[in-house]
A and B are shown apart, each in its own frame.
Chain A
Amino acid sequence: MSLAANPRQFVIRIIFISMAAIMLLRLFFLQVVEDKYKVMANDIAIFRKVVYPPRGAILDRKGKPMLYNERVYDLLVTPATVNKSLDTNSLCDVLGITQEAFTKMLTRTRIKSGPMRKGVFIEEMSAQQTARFQENMYNFPGFEMAERFRRTYPNASAALMLGYIGEVSPEMLKKEQYASYQQGDYTGMNGLERSYEDVLRGQRGVHFLERDNFNRPREPYKGGALDTPEIAGKNLELYLDADLQALGEKLMQNKLGSVVAIDPKTGGILAMVSAPNYDPNLLRGTERTKNYSKLYRDATKPLLNRATQAYYQPGSTMKPMTALMALDVGVINPSFGYPCGGGYYACGKRIGCTHSGGGHAANLRVALANSCNAYFVHIFRLIADAKKYGGVKKGVQVWHKYCNDFGFGKPTGVDIPFEMSGKAPDTNTYNKMYNGSWNSCTMLFVGMGQGEIALTPIQLANAMCIIANKGYYYTPHFVKSIGNNPKDPLLLPYLKKHVVTHIPDTFFDVVAKGMQDVVERGTGTVARMDGIEICAKTGTVENKAVVNGQAMKMKDHSVFVAFAPRVNPKIAIAVVVENAGFGATWAGPVASLMIEKYLLDSVSGKRRHLEQKLYNANLVNRYTYAIDSAQRLRDALRRERKEEEKRIADSTARARDSIRAIRFFNKHYIKNNK
């Protein structure tokens, strides 16, 4: 064998080199030319984890939490790691479940998230389960606790005002407003949770995690370089006084109605009660749907925010406003009197007045104190028929303008959603109602707050603010500051002072004095307190309900509006108790106790009996339920009838079609065959 020029050694070298070349070619194609493998690698190996920051808490004016995130624990299990050696008995004992339930739950978890991944075994463990499991955790490999946050309302109050969160529905996702949401995200559905969604929610973080062949997330991808951090939601600090709110809710228990208390200096809402209220903790977690439909079906309509959505005629509580309008128009002066002898007869029909004694309407102050119907109906007519406007149609339009100035007939703009506008009639309204032929006699009731005018309690409270402030108000709102920033852009609209009328201060003073007299010696003496000058007005509102298609007169609403103290007012309040009777009997004490609580921080012993009387009273009339069920029955019948009609229409259409088809067949087919 020659050592020198053996050509075969070169053949072998060529084989080696060409193999390496083939590999390099293939690698070049795989790694540099083809792009799909990069995409595939990312698809299989990178897990996009959305991290939800803690939602902002809601605090009352003293910093007490009203809504915050509570720590709850889920029990997770990785089914594959649960082995035979697990002491199932003691685990069941710790968790307080049966063996069968354990097996069932484990199977369910295994099916839902696979054997290799962690799945939820128990959602929201009870406090007892959490404590007992935590102690014995080391005994149960494969099981672990996962911390989660849940919205909690520690005071269980102000349910409709604070609102709740719920999963974004597919319909909502289609809207542009919810562009940044994904299916499964939560959003505020009502109340402050909805209005301040953007700040409460914070900013979601997106973390890219690598995942392994069992789809288990592992460490951050590229050390977290692509991640966006989550930003915690901001807290809301409210004007709301949790104690005052609690008192209001307690006073209003077993009643229908509403309380709205506003700080006139800022427009900040101190308390807002809609009775009946419910425990907001019901509307969260797994039980939400069930509880919601229960509340929805309730005859007392607890889901209706009566403070912003229910319409009430203001009744006599309209009188201070009417007086101010008349003074400003110039048809009366403060010393104007009306010789009321127990009724108003100028329009042919008697309008009763509670007082008949002479001089109970000798001047404005006295008339207000005694709530003389005749006086205010009269001065309303004077406005409507004022010569300078030349006709009732223009006069009513002026009155309507004044109503708007006081915030009636339009939403106040409070920072919770679904507020209603109320009704303030104008010339058009009456033209439609009476086909153009009407005069001030036709609609004089609005002067005393009855008839076509309808207000929400918050509008009434806001009107009190205007009187208390002598002509201006701030839009009523709950939120004082967002994340301790009172100048947050979202709050700017509420920092704007609305000067609505240019009624001189002297007129306001007269009306305020008259309202003070209401408490001192008039219809509202129940609200009197030592040392505080309260200005108030009672209202006893006639109302009708439609029962079986007929308007029926119901028991009067008890209404009371007030502000205090007269000089430098700190609180303005409106109270409505539905179908309860005189304004002074029920709404008055509520308002008075609320004012006392707010200004003096406690209710004095002398007035405990008032408190007790209210706590014990059940003013929800039986017929409320009867009316409701009758209404439901009628709705159901109507629905049924509609469906029946539709069915009939359908079958007629079908019959018509088949006749047409037979005709067509006869015409084209049978003829041709002949």
Chain B
Amino acid sequence: MSAQGKSLFSRLDTTTLVLYLSLVCIGLLAVFSVEYRSTDAGIFLMHKNYMRQLVWLGISLFVGLLIVFTDSKFFSSFAYLSYTIGVLLLVVTIFAGVDVKGSHSWLGYGNVRFQPGEVCKIFTSLALSKFLSSPETNFQTLRHRIMGAAFALVPAILIILQSETGLALVYFCFFLVMYREGLPNIILIIGFSLVALTLATLLVDRLALFVIITTLAALAGYMIRRDLKRNPSARILLVGAWLICILFSQVMVPVLFKYVLQKHQIERIYSTLGQDVPDSYLKAGQKKDEKKKGNVSDYNVKQSKIAIGSGGFFGKGFLNGTSTKNEFVPEQHTDFIFCSIGEQFGFFGSAILIALYLSLMLRILYLAERQRSSFSRIYGYCVASILFFHFAINISMTIGIAPVIGITLPFLSYGGSSLLSFSILMFILLRLDSDRQVMIR
């Protein structure tokens, strides 16, 4: 209660604010480095993206200021309404959306455009927090679990209908929040295992994978050896899990690829991972060089890996990135912005950036856990999960360990919608945190 006496601004969490601002500044520099040419007439050119980004930063900070001056209870009371508006916007977008680069997820007129799916993350976070924190909700019941999942899945489906699958996938991050709030362990484990197993099957050599799975199973067996002795069902579980993994990776996928999937489907799957189709999955009569051509996302990942890989330990130096500066990496000021960091500042700079993100996310988790009201806590988890999902998938795809999904790197990627919505997410959290002793329902 002593905190109540201090001014509103001094109650904002300085650490989070500093991390947020440093990431935004790094983002501005990154966009600048991608666009700046030594032949430019000057630095302050309004047609350049980095200047627009600067304007968006101003707007974001202004909105942030508004949020700080808003009553913290407003957010919880506004939650369901905003969610409804968000969902409606998404529905409208399906019909009235503007086509931008093959996706139908933008609303706007003329030059002013925004992506409702981006903004709807905020509303979904608020609504989910409101729902999970409400006293009527018992998250141990299946009915309420399904309702909770629905909060995340409805926008996701609507966004999929706008053919912006990447953005839709982000909504699955809310399962992390629901896990924190009591979703059974097993769901998380199975979910993770499936994703890992699928990726591993496609990326790792079949024999090596067999060895890895078996080793993991043996390791698990050794660790729970007492249970195995006592409990026959544990034995069945372990052997069953092992068998399923082996069957999936050794039999199902090869059979699927060899006899079921068409040639172009196989190519699509592999090229989203930035990989060549293995020889064993080549259809009869398909030439090797034919498959080498690759498609767009294949090219993106390759160029992105070259850009990042050529950075070395300390990088090529600011404005010396040959790959990024000369537009070898497509979408490099938006989805592939990490390349410019990787190339110009090397492993050293990348590691610092990743450390900054990790600190921010862990700091948010810390803030969430210190909230008195569940609403604020759950909201904090929502913010951290969204950030994590974006961060993990975006960077992983640039370094070739995740499929190319068009989602932005928070605070760094160029784009008004992205920057504004992440800023709003952050500032609402900061505002809630400044009133952490207040019960918000």
Residue numbers of A with Cβ under 8 A of B are: 1, 3, 6, 8-9, 11-13, 15-17, 19-20, 22-24, 26-28, 30-32, 34, 36-38, 40-42, 44-46, 210-213, 218-219, 221-222
A12-B384, A23-B399, A31-B346 given; 10 more Cβ-contact pairs under 8 Å: A12-B381, A16-B362, A28-B347, A30-B399, A31-B311, A32-B312, A32-B347, A41-B343, A42-B310, A221-B322
User: Could you tell me the distance between the alpha carbons of A40 and B302 in the complex, rounded to whole angstroms?
Assistant: 10
Chain B residues in 8 Å Cβ range of A45: 322-323, 326, 328
Closest 4 CB pairs of A and B: A37-B309, A41-B310, A45-B322, A212-B326
Q: Does the CB pair B326–A26 fall under 8 Å? A: no
Contact check: which of B37, B350, B392, B401 meets A31 at CB < 8 Å? B350
Provide the bound-state CA to CA distance between A13 and B180, in Å.
Answer: 11
Cβ-closest chain A residue relative to B311: A31
Among B285-293, B353-361, B414-422, the stretch that binds chain A is B353-361
Q: Which residues of B contact A212 (CB under 8 A)?
A: 326-328
Given contacts A12-B180, A16-B388, A210-B326, contact A27 B308 (CB under 8 A): yes
Neighbouring A residues of B313 by C-beta, 8 Å? 31-32
Residues of A within 8 A of B357 (CB): 20
How far apart are the CA atoms of A222 and B176 in the complex, in Å? Answer: 46
Among residues 308 to 339 in chain B, which have CB atoms less than 8 Å away from a CB atom of chain A?
308-313, 320, 322-323, 325-328
Contact B322 A37 (CB under 8 A): no
- Of the candidates B322, B343, B351, B388, the one whose C-beta lies within 8 Å of that of A46 is B322
Enumerate chain A residues within 8 angstroms of B311, measured Cβ to Cβ: 31
Q: Which chain B residues border A34 with CB–CB below 8 Å?
A: 309
Residue from A11, A12, A26, A42 in contact with B322 in the complex, judged by beta carbons closer than 8 Å: A42
For residue A46, which residues in chain B have a CB less than 8 angstroms away from its CB?
A: 322
Q: Which of B180, B305, B322, B384 contacts A210, CB < 8 Å?
A: B322
Q: List B residues 344-372 near A (Cβ within 8 Å).
A: 346-347, 350-351, 354-355, 357-358, 361-362, 365, 369
Closest A residue to B346 by beta carbon equals A31
B342: which A residues are within 8 A, CB to CB?
27, 30-31
Q: Does B9 contact A (CB under 8 A)?
A: no
Chain A residue, CB-CB nearest to B308? A30
Bound CA–CA A482/B189 (angstroms): 83
Chain B binding surface, main DSSP class: helix
B308 contacts A37, CB within 8 Å? yes
Beyond A13-B365, A37-B310, whether A19 also contacts B392 by CB under 8 A is yes
Residues of A within 8 A of B396 (CB): 23, 26
Question: Which residues of chain B come closer than 8 Å to A38, judged between CB atoms?
Answer: 309-310, 312
Contact status of A37 and B306, CB under 8 A, knowing A28-B347, A44-B323, A210-B325: yes
Encoded as 1 (CB less than 8 Å from any A CB) or 0, chain B from 106 to 145 comes to 0000000000000000000000000000000000000000
Complex CA distance for A6 and B365, rounded to whole angstroms: 12
A277 to B347, CA, bound (A): 69
A123 to B195, CA, bound (A): 60
How far is B312's CA from A400's CA once the two chains are assembled, in angstroms?
76
Least CB separation from A211: chain B residue: B326
A42–B312 Cα gap in the complex (Å)?
13
CA distance A11 to B175 in the complex (A): 13
B94 interfacial contact with A, CB 8 Å: no
Contacts A12-B176, A28-B347, A31-B312 given: A222-B306 contact, CB under 8 Å? Answer: no
- For the complex, what is the distance from the CA of A40 to the CA of B346, rounded to whole Å? 16
28 residue pairs of the A-B complex, CB under 8 angstroms, read A1-B182, A6-B180, A8-B180, A9-B365, A11-B188, A16-B358, A17-B358, A20-B355, A23-B395, A27-B308, A27-B342, A30-B308, A31-B308, A31-B313, A31-B347, A31-B350, A32-B347, A34-B309, A37-B309, A42-B310, A44-B323, A44-B328, A45-B322, A45-B328, A210-B325, A211-B326, A212-B327, A218-B326
* Chain B contacts to A: CB under 8 angstroms: 37-39, 176, 179-182, 188, 305-313, 320, 322-323, 325-328, 342-343, 346-347, 350-351, 354-355, 357-358, 361-362, 365, 369, 374, 377, 381, 384, 388, 392, 395-396, 399-401
A6 and B355 alpha carbons, distance in the complex (Å): 25
- The CB with the most chain B CB atoms within 10 A, among A11, A41, A46, is that of A41
Distance between B168 CB and nearest chain A CB, rounded to angstroms: 20
Q: Which residues of A contact B180 (CB under 8 A)?
A: 6, 8-9, 12
Q: How far, in angstroms, from A344 to B319 measured CA to CA in the complex?
A: 94
Give the Cβ gap from A199 to chain B, nearest Cβ, in Å: 35
Return B311 CB to nearest CB of chain A, in Å: 5
Cα distance A13–B363 when bound, in Å?
10
Q: Are B309 and A31 in contact (CB under 8 A)?
A: yes
Contacting residues, chain B, for A17 (C-beta < 8 A): 358, 362
CA of A23 to CA of B355, assembled, Å: 11
Give chain A residues whose Cβ lies under 8 Å from the Cβ of B38: 219
CA–CA, A20 and B392, complex, Å: 8
CB-defined contacts of B179 to chain A, threshold 8 Å:
8, 11-12
Residues of A within 8 A of B377 (CB): 3
A11 and B354 CA atoms in complex are apart in Å by 19
List of A residues within 8 angstroms of B350 by Cβ? 24, 27, 31
Q: Which residues of A contact B392 (CB under 8 A)?
A: 19, 23
Nearest chain B residue, comparing its CB with the CB of A28: B347
Residues of chain A contacted by B325 (CB below 8 angstroms):
210, 218
CB neighbours (8 Å) of B401 from chain A are 22-23, 26
Assuming the contacts A31-B347, A41-B307, A212-B328, asked whether A1 and B374 have C-beta atoms less than 8 A apart, the reply is yes
Residues of B within 8 A of A3 (CB): 369, 377
- Known contacts: A22-B401, A24-B354, A210-B326. The answer to whether A41 contacts B362 by CB under 8 A is no
Q: Give A210 to B38 CA distance when docked, in angstroms.
A: 12
Question: What separation, in Å, do the CA atoms of A12 and B311 have in the docked complex?
Answer: 31
Interchain CA distance A37-B303 in the complex, whole Å: 10
Q: Which A residues lie within 8 Å of B346 (CB)?
A: 31
Contact of B305 among A37, A218, A221 (CB under 8 A): A37
Chain A residue at minimal CB-CB distance from B310: A41
Q: Are B39 and A219 in contact (CB under 8 A)?
A: yes
- Whole-angstrom CA separation of A26 from B392 in the bound complex: 13
Contacts of B347 in A (CB 8 A): 27-28, 31-32
Within the complex, the shortest CB–CB distance from A3 to chain B, in Å, comes to 8
Nearest-Cβ distance from residue A218 to partner chain B, whole angstroms: 6
Q: Which of A23, A218, A221 contacts B354 (CB 8 A)?
A: A23
* Contact between A218 and B37, CB atoms less than 8 A apart: yes
CA gap between A41 and B312 in the complex, in Å: 11
Residue numbers in A under 8 Å from B322 (CB-CB): 41-42, 45-46, 210, 221
A337–B368 alpha-carbon span in the complex (Å): 132
Are A16 and B374 neighbours in the complex by a CB distance under 8 Å? no
Query: What's the nearest-Cβ distance from chain B to residue A7, in Å?
Result: 10
B residues less than 8 Å from A32 (CB atoms): 312-313, 347
Task: Give A44 to B302 CA distance when docked, in angstroms.
Answer: 12
Option from A22, A30, A221, A222 in Cβ contact (under 8 Å) with B309: A30
CA distance A45 to B358 in the complex (A): 33
Interfacial chain B residues near A15, Cβ < 8 Å = 176, 388
* CA A30 to CA B347, docked complex, whole Å: 9
Could you tell me the distance between the alpha carbons of A17 and B354 in the complex, rounded to whole angstroms? Answer: 10
- Is B310 in contact with A40, judged by CB distance below 8 angstroms? yes
Q: Determine the chain A residues whose CB is within 8 A of the CB of B355 once the complex forms.
A: 20
Contact A213/B37 with A12-B180, A16-B361, A45-B322 known, Cβ cut-off 8 Å: no
What is the minimal beta-carbon distance from B34 to any residue of chain A, in angstroms?
Answer: 12
Q: Which of chain B's residues have a CB closer than 8 A to the CB of A213?
A: 326-328
Chain A residues whose C-beta falls within 8 Å of the C-beta of B188 in the assembled complex: 11
Q: Verify B351–A27 contact, CB threshold 8 A.
A: yes
Interface centre among A30, A40, A218 (most CB of B within 10 A): A30
Contact between chains at A12 and B365 (CB < 8 Å): yes
CB distance B369 to A9 under 8 Å?
yes
Asked if residues B37 and A13 are in contact (CB atoms below 8 Å), the reply is no
Q: How far is the CA of A370 from the CA of B157 in the complex (A)?
A: 120
Tell me the minimal C-beta distance from A190 to chain B in angstroms: 43
- CB proximity of A278 to chain B, nearest CB, Å: 47
- B-side contacts of A26, CB under 8 Å: 396, 399-401
B138 to chain A, nearest CB (A): 11
The residues of A that contact B309 with a CB separation of less than 8 Å are 30-31, 34, 36-38, 40-41
